[in-house]
Amino acid sequence: MKTLFRGKHFITLDDYSREEVDSLLDVSRYLKMKFALNEPHRMLQDKTVFMMFFEQSTRTRNSMEAGITQLGGHAHDLTPDKMQLSHGESAKDTAEVLSGMGHAIACRNCFFGYGEKNQLGNNYLRELAQYSRIPVMSLQDDWYHPMQGLADLLTIQEKFGTNLKGLKICISWAYATSHAKPLSVPQSQILLFPRYGMDVVVAGPKEFPFMPEIVEKAKKNASDGGGSLKFVDNMEEGFRGAHIVIPKNWGGFLGVKPPKGQARVEYLGTDEAKKQMKTNLEKHKGWICNEKLMKITDRRSVYMHALPADRGKEVVDSVIDGPRSIVIDEAENRIHTAKAVMALTMGGRP
Ligand code: CP
């Protein structure tokens, strides 16, 4: 078991070795047991985490805030409108100032800025981390959602045991209209699951690609971890024989090409780009997880979703509310894994 985590940033699980991820899972299970037994575990007494949410959240916000309370500390629930960053204060100044006042900075910034060097998503978190003297935790950005990935892995191990080699897991695109969901959940999953020997099949229309760097790294992770990664263009092929299915929408940010010379981030805000994304989305209305698809999965299969789900669009009610659905366990595990990350990076061994 790895024990030296204090001060380490948590931006992607790819920055953590397999042994370190195992340790995070062990501590999650330990803290889950403590919680179940109603035993105090105030390991971060009087410590403060500054949570900066650029977007809405139910699971992440509440797992972090309830989690730090249970660990004996306190969270500041911050949004840009409460901070001077709304007047342009830099990530550098924000990180340096908060470093002097508390024990961790946690941030959700999903603004899609792939290839752009400014205050968007992962670039913003990386800049916070560069100047912070306390750990910076991602609460999701445009590239990664490591808190979700860790909770998903814990949930899968609870259902299938710790040896996951040979399990087929289908990560499928699904139709949704609530909003263009970030790429970060499926990207974190394709990076992480093959490291544990799982055979990952991504099913998705060609208009909804992942970032090429992520796919390359995920292939390397599969080769190093004994798992596999393949891409198919239909749900049936992905679902057939799968032990785990995760059908979920992700936005087609990269399926829309900006005109030559125009930055993608600026183009995505235009009416023309929005129209292209909508056209691409509406072509694939039939991508919904239903009973017929669940029937071709393995007889032990489970249905997962990071939530929130677009009911009737990504998934039918009878599947998400049915016996194979483990979405509520998956959501609960967000608090146990968040507590493990905080306990180890904000406290733990000096
Ligand atoms: N899965 C997830 O991150 O949920 P929230 O957006 O509610 O935090």
pLDDT by residue for the chain (350 residues), tens digit each?
A: 999 999 999 999 999 999 999 999 999 999 999 999 999 999 999 999 999 999 999 999 999 999 999 999 999 999 999 999 999 999 999 999 999 999 999 999 999 988 776 679 999 999 999 999 999 999 999 999 999 999 999 999 999 999 999 999 999 999 999 999 999 999 999 999 999 999 999 999 999 999 999 999 999 999 999 999 999 999 999 999 999 999 999 999 999 988 998 888 889 889 999 999 999 999 999 999 999 999 999 999 999 999 999 999 999 999 999 999 999 999 999 999 999 999 999 998 88
Measured from the CB, is residue 60 less than 6 Å from ligand 1? Answer: yes
Same domain, 86 and 30: yes
Residue 191 is predicted with a pLDDT of 98
How much distance in Å is there from the Cα of 309 to the middle of ligand 1? 10
One domain for residues 158 and 257: yes
Q: How many CA atoms lie within 13 A of 267 on its CB side?
A: 19
What pLDDT sits at residue 114?
83
Q: Radius of gyration over alpha carbons of the chain, in Å?
A: 20
Instruction: Give the per-residue pLDDT at 257.
Output: 85
- Looking at the structure, do residues 68 and 217 belong to the same domain, yes or no? no
- Asked if 246 and 326 sit in the same domain, the reply is yes
Residues 209, 309: one domain?
yes
Same domain flag for 164 and 297: yes
Q: Which atom of ligand 1 is nearest to the CA of 108?
A: 8
CA 58 to ligand 1: nearest atom: 7
Residues 187 and 182: their CA atoms lie apart, in Å, by 9
Mutate to test the pocket of ligand 1, among 59, 107, 141, 332 (most ligand atoms within 8 A of CB): 59
84 falls within a domain: yes
Burial of 292 (0-12, 13-18, 19+ CB in 10 A): exposed
Residues in the chain: 350
Q: What pLDDT is attached to residue 264?
A: 86
For position 118, what pLDDT does the model report? 66
| Domain containing residue 253 | 148-331
Comparing CA positions, the residue from 182, 143, 132, 155 lying closest to residue 345 is 132
How far apart CA 248 and CA 257 sit, in angstroms, is 23
Distance 345 CA to ligand 1 centre (A): 21
Do 161 and 129 share a domain, yes or no? no
Phi (first) and psi of residue 240, to 5 degrees = -60, 115
Residue closest by Cα to atom 4 of ligand 1: 59
Q: Distance between CA atoms of 13 and 132, rounded to whole angstroms?
A: 19
CA 350–ligand 1 middle distance (angstroms): 31
Note the pLDDT of residue 117.
66
DSSP-based three-state secondary structure for 210: coil
Q: Is residue 225 part of a domain?
A: yes
The domain total for the chain is 2
Q: In the numeric block, which tokens belong to residue 119?
A: 């205050």
Helix 59-70 / helix 146-160 crossing angle, nearest 10 deg: 80
- DSSP summary character for residue 120: S
**Helix runs in 283-326, H state only:** 291-295, 317-320
With b meaning 16 or more CB within 10 Å and e meaning fewer, what string describes 162-174? eebeebbbbbbbb
Task: Please state, as a whole number, how many other Cβ atoms lie within 10 Å of the Cβ of residue 50.
Answer: 23
Q: Are 67 and 55 found together in one domain?
A: yes
By CB neighbour count within 10 A (0-12 exposed, 13-18 middle, 19+ buried), where does 18 fall?
middle
57 lines ligand 1 (CB under 6 A): yes
How far away, in angstroms, is 56 Cα from ligand 1 center? 8
